[in-house]
Structure formats: structure tokens, C-alpha cells
Amino acid sequence: MMCFDECLELPASRIEVEHSIALTARWAKRCKEAQVKTNGISGEQALFGIFQGGGELDLREQSLEQIVEIDFDGYAIGGLSVGESKEEMYRVAHHITPKMPAEKPRYLMGVGDPEDLLEGIEAGIDMFDCVLPTRNARNGSLFTSRGKISIKQNQYKEDPEPLDPDCACSTCQNYSRAYLRHLFKSNEILGVRLNTYHNLFFYLTLIKGARAAVKDQHFPEFKKDFLEKYRSGLDGD
Ligand SMILES: [Zn+2]
């Protein structure tokens, strides 16, 4: 369960960010009080605090401090991936994540594509959530080990290859790109299901690999190898 917070659209002025983190801290206190009061009713449900601060690093630190003081089960970076550039998101994530309590889960909200996930993990993030794999799947935008594919493109019309030859999911094991393209073009609901299955499988496989690499202490190599292949590109969509 997440605290109520205010997520500002970026860019925002410093004064707006200051007001916003103050409001977010007041709401967080009330959320915590409500959780304590209803503990018998809600059982052992965890409550995460969310801190804000836009792109202002000192306000990020201030907001984090205010939220950590209230003491939550985990902490989330809010207000990133809301229209700012990737560089800006990475800059904030790399600055603030190491300052978050290491003994509690660190959660980057609303992120992201495969590159963002690896960048977040490198910064020290433990958790993510994102609509991207499922929403993209519904639009025919599919993640593969060699980059994104837009399955509606003409070049896949008679392509007998699996969507991603390196993927072990049932979509890739059983269907061709041409068939997936046909399903997409015909608005067949099966296409949406097969695409969604693949994209979720791809994300889970990526995260499993990253988790193992962190454990074995070779995450930088894992990230480099993945990105090299991922950026080698299929159709550059
Ligand atoms: Zn697959």
C-alpha cells in the first residue's frame, strides 16, 4: 500500500516543488496514523512512503528525510518518469537512491523500459512498476533481445521467424512474426494476448537475469552485454 502524495508535472518551479514536498509530508503523516489506527483491520499490510522533489536534488534529500522520519516499510521515489528526459531521471535516481535506507525496499515508481530498469538497478533500486510491457503489447510494440519491434510493419508480413529467437516464451516457441502481424492487423484478441504474454515474459527474464547478476557480482557486465545486443536493433522502432 502506498501513501498519498502529490506528483508534480515536470518541469516545475522550485517554489512549486517546495510546496509539493511539504504537502506530501503532511499527507504521509496522516497515512501512517491511519495505518497504525487500523492495524487490526488491515492486518500486516505494508505501507510505503513516497518522497518527491522534482529535479531539485537538495529538495529530494529534504523530502526523503521527512518521509524516512515517519518510518515506513519501504520507500518510493515518486515524480520521476513524468515527462522529463531520461538523463534527468537517471541523474536524480543515481543521486538519491544510495541515500535511501538500504535495509528497506527501494522502489522507483512508474519506470520503465528495459534500459531504465537496468539503470535503476545499477543505482540501487529494488522494485519497479510500469504499464509499458502490457500497453506496448496491445499496440503491437514488442520488446526483444535485439530491441523493439513494431509488429505491424510490412517487413514482417511473410517473416517465418519467431518474434525473438532468443526468447523461451510460448509465443516465440509456437508462432511466427508473420502470424503475429496478421493477428494484429486483423484486430484479433489472440494477438493482444500473445504479445502481452511475450512482453511480460521478456521483462521477467530480464529482471531474473539482473537479480542473478547482482548476486554473482557481475551486474555491470550483464548490463553492458544486454544493452549492446538490445541496441543492435531490429527495425529501430
Ligand atoms: Zn517470447
33-48 residue pLDDT tens? 998 888 766 567 899 9
Q: Which domain holds residue 170?
A: 133-230
Query: Exposed e or buried b for every residue in 2-22, given b needs 16+ CB within 10 A?
Result: bbebbbbebebeeeebbebbe
Inform me whether the pLDDT recorded for 237 exceeds 50.
Answer: no
Question: Is residue 4 included in any domain, yes or no?
Answer: no
- 140 & 176 share domain: yes
- Mean pLDDT of the region 141-170: 97
Please state the φ and ψ torsions of residue 47, each to the nearest 5 degrees.
-120, 125
Q: How many domains does the chain fold into?
A: 2
Question: Is residue 9 included in any domain, yes or no?
Answer: no
- Mean pLDDT of the region 137-164: 97
Task: Please list the residues that pair with 51 across neighbouring strands.
Answer: 77
What is the distance in A from the centroid of ligand 1 to the CA of 139?
Answer: 16
Average pLDDT of the residues of the chain: 94
The CB-side HSE value for 28 (13 A sphere, CA atoms) comes to: 29
What is the distance in A from the centroid of ligand 1 to the CA of 68?
Answer: 40
What is the distance in A from the centroid of ligand 1 to the CA of 237?
Answer: 18
What is the distance in A from the centroid of ligand 1 to the CA of 167?
Answer: 5
What is the distance in A from the centroid of ligand 1 to the CA of 154?
Answer: 20
Helix axes 177-185, 189-215, angle to 10 degrees: 130
Closest by CA position to 13, among listed 75, 73, 69, 55: 55
Binning pLDDT at 50, 70 and 90, where does residue 215 land? very high
Question: Is residue 5 included in any domain, yes or no?
Answer: no
